[in-house]
């Protein structure tokens, strides 16, 4: 149980520590503060995992789910940081928004579980793809160095370190198997950090300054602040997170031979949202189920939720040890950038896999994906596109994930639900040889005389 639990931690560790590193760095936190924020994320991930796997009352799907900081919230949180005049207030504003979004999500969970039909693969696949695409620029920024204002930003040394890390991860994924293959990203970070030592870009001071035992002091960065625009933005993220979690529960239910019904989905969403509402108390961010661990359950065929709960215990212990949490802060930014290409690219690829099941041979679905992706990548390809809008509106509009999700849901309603006619299903994809027109529309072709 311990070994299998550690394997789940290894599979999701990089995903848990990446969001606090991204947001903390953008908010200008010091190395010590980044270590604290990382440890808090590990601690709250463990608590959320307990809530999801063991459950209490009607809270928790009681499936082998690992919970942690959701990637969906990173881009909106960066937008909140960018639009906050005093960067010291950015983290409290984010925490306040997460608390409100979590509580509203908890109240909406039983109703949301009834709306699954409005979030088909064409919507969830688009959103997951946008999550990965929106985060890739972060990895590219890391690869160029820690300080964009420095003269050596984007130097060949930094890009070489990123390339070496990426190569190590790819080689491990290609030529190893089992446990080593699952922790390829973690091994790549370790090797990349060791290679970076001769380059003089590795700083071990966070480890030497960290204590062996510590506790994430409640509201370490100040009391939560409640800004309307930030709350709206994080509520949209909560909607995205609940959509992802619903899809994950449906997938995991099939794997463990316990199909997730409406009641299970509602309980699982309560665990996600309550975990998110509690998380800022201990300086954590919005929590959600981790899809990569579903693949681990399928591969190992170890379907016990208590194994995953054991992994949650390890997360809590790591969160209570600042030294353990500080290890990741030693990793140079270019090394994180090399691993981030795989990590964030895999999220986008996961979205594309979902879109494959979305029925893109239908014109309606093609339009939904095309327009939603186009709107979602506006903040990436044209960062100044919304410069004339009020600052409060830009918090939402500058998040491609939020705008893309809203657009996908609305277009799906318009094209696939409201006033839908039989001929809306007509396809423009080429027919297979020998296939008759009637067969492409689901009807039996009339006999030819």
| Position 389 confidence tier, pLDDT thresholds 50, 70, 90 | confident
Mean pLDDT, residues 157-168: 93
Mean pLDDT, residues 115-143: 81
Mean pLDDT, residues 295-299: 67
Burial class (CB in 10 A: 0-12, 13-18, 19+), 155: middle
CB within 8 Å of 193: residues ≥ 6 apart: 202, 330, 331, 332, 335
Q: How far apart are CA 299 and CA 255, in angstroms?
A: 10
**Mean pLDDT for the chain overall:** 81
324 or 288, which is more confident: 288
Asked whether the beta carbons of 406 and 236 are under 8 A apart, the reply is: yes
Mean pLDDT, residues 17-32: 83
Asked whether the beta carbons of 335 and 161 are under 8 A apart, the reply is: yes
Indicate if the pLDDT at residue 422 is higher than 90. no
Mean pLDDT, residues 180-198: 84
57 or 71, which is more confident: 57
Cβ neighbours of 229 (radius 10 Å): 19
Indicate if the pLDDT at residue 447 is higher than 90. no
Indicate if the pLDDT at residue 150 is higher than 80. yes
Q: How many residues does the chain have?
A: 449
Mean pLDDT, residues 395-409: 78
Give the pLDDT score at 260. 77
| Position 432 confidence tier, pLDDT thresholds 50, 70, 90 | very low
139 or 417, which is more confident: 139
Give the pLDDT score at 318. 83
Give the pLDDT score at 395. 65
What's the first-to-final CA gap in the chain, in angstroms? Answer: 68
Highest mean pLDDT of the ranges 264-278, 281-295, 340-354, 388-402: 264-278
Q: How far apart are CA 47 and CA 21, in angstroms?
A: 20
Q: In DSSP terms, which residues pair with 56 in a beta bridge? A: 59
DSSP line for 111-148:
HHGGGGGGS-HHHHHHHHHHHHHHHHHHHHHHHT-S-T
Q: Which residues of 355-390 are buried (b: 16+ CB within 10 A; e: fewer)?
A: beebbbebebbbebbebbbebbbbbeeeeeebeeee
| Position 393 confidence tier, pLDDT thresholds 50, 70, 90 | confident
| Position 328 confidence tier, pLDDT thresholds 50, 70, 90 | low
Give the pLDDT score at 368. 92
Q: How far apart are CA 378 and CA 374, in angstroms?
A: 7
Indicate if the pLDDT at residue 52 is higher than 50. yes
Mean pLDDT, residues 377-399: 80
Q: What is the 3-state secondary structure (H, E, C) of 159-198?
A: HHHHHHHHHHHHHHHHHCCHHHHHCHHHHHHHHHHHHHHH
377 or 289, which is more confident: 377
Cβ neighbours of 392 (radius 10 Å): 15
Report DSSP state, residue 56. Answer: B
Q: How far apart are CA 446 and CA 174, in angstroms?
A: 51
Closest by CA position to 7, among listed 257, 314, 267: 314
Per cent of the chain over pLDDT 70 is 87
Asked whether the beta carbons of 51 and 271 are under 8 A apart, the reply is: yes
Q: In DSSP terms, which residues pair with 281 in a beta bridge? A: none
DSSP line for 15-66:
HHHHHHHHHHHHTT--HHHHHHHHHHHHHHHHHHHHHHHT-BTTB---SS--
Q: How far apart are CA 201 and CA 194, in angstroms?
A: 10
| Position 377 confidence tier, pLDDT thresholds 50, 70, 90 | very high
* Lowest-confidence region among 55-59, 218-222, 323-327, 373-377: 323-327
Indicate if the pLDDT at residue 136 is higher than 50. yes
């Amino acid at each position: 149980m311990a070994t299998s639990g550690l394997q789940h931690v290894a599979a999701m560790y990089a995903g848990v520590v990446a969001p606090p590193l991204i947001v903390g760095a953008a908010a200008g936190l010091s190395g010590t503060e980044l270590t604290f924020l990382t440890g808090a994320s590990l601690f709250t991930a463990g608590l959320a995992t307990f809530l999801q796997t063991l459950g209490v009352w009607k809270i928790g799907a009681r499936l082998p789910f690992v919970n942690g900081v959701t990637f969906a919230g990173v881009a909106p949180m960066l937008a909140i940081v960018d639009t906050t005049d005093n960067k010291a207030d950015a983290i409290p504003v984010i925490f306040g928004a997460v608390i409100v979004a979590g509580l509203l999500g908890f109240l909406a969970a039983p109703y949301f579980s009834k709306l699954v039909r409005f979030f088909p693969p064409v919507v969830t696949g688009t959103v997951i793809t946008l999550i990965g695409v929106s985060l890739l620029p972060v990895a590219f920024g890391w690869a160029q160095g820690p300080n964009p204002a420095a003269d050596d930003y984007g130097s060949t040394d930094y890009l070489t370190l990123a390339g070496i890390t990426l190569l190590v991860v790819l080689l491990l994924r290609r030529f190893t198997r089992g446990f080593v293959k699952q922790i390829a990203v973690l091994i790549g970070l370790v090797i990349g950090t060791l290679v970076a030592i001769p380059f003089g870009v590795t700083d071990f001071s966070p480890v030497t300054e960290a204590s062996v035992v510590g506790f994430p002091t409640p509201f370490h960065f100040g009391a939560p602040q409640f800004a309307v625009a930030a709350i709206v933005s994080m509520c949209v993220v909560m909607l995205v997170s609940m959509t992802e979690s619903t899809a994950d529960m449906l997938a995991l239910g099939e794997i463990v031979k316990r199909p997730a019904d409406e009641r299970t989905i509602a309980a699982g969403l309560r665990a996600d949202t309550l975990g998110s509402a509690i998380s800022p108390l201990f300086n954590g961010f919005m929590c959600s189920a981790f899809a990569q661990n579903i693949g681990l359950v399928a591969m190992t065929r170890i379907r016990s939720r208590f194994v995953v709960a054991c992994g949650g215990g390890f997360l809590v212990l790591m969160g209570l040890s600042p030294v353990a949490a500080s290890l990741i802060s030693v990793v140079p930014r270019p090394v994180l950038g090399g691993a981030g290409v795989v990590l964030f690219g895999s999220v986008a690829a996961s979205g594309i896999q979902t879109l494959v099941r979305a029925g893109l041979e239908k014109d309606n679905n093609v339009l939904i994906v095309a327009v939603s992706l186009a709107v979602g990548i506006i903040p990436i390809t044209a960062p100044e596109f919304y410069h004339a809008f009020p600052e409060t509106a830009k918090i939402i509009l500058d998040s491609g994930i939020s705008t893309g999700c809203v657009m996908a849901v609305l277009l799906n309603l318009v094209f696939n639900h409201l006033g839908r006619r039989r001929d809306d299903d007509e396809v423009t994809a080429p027919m297979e040889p020998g296939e008759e027109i009637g067969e492409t529309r689901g009807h039996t072709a009339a006999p030819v005389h």
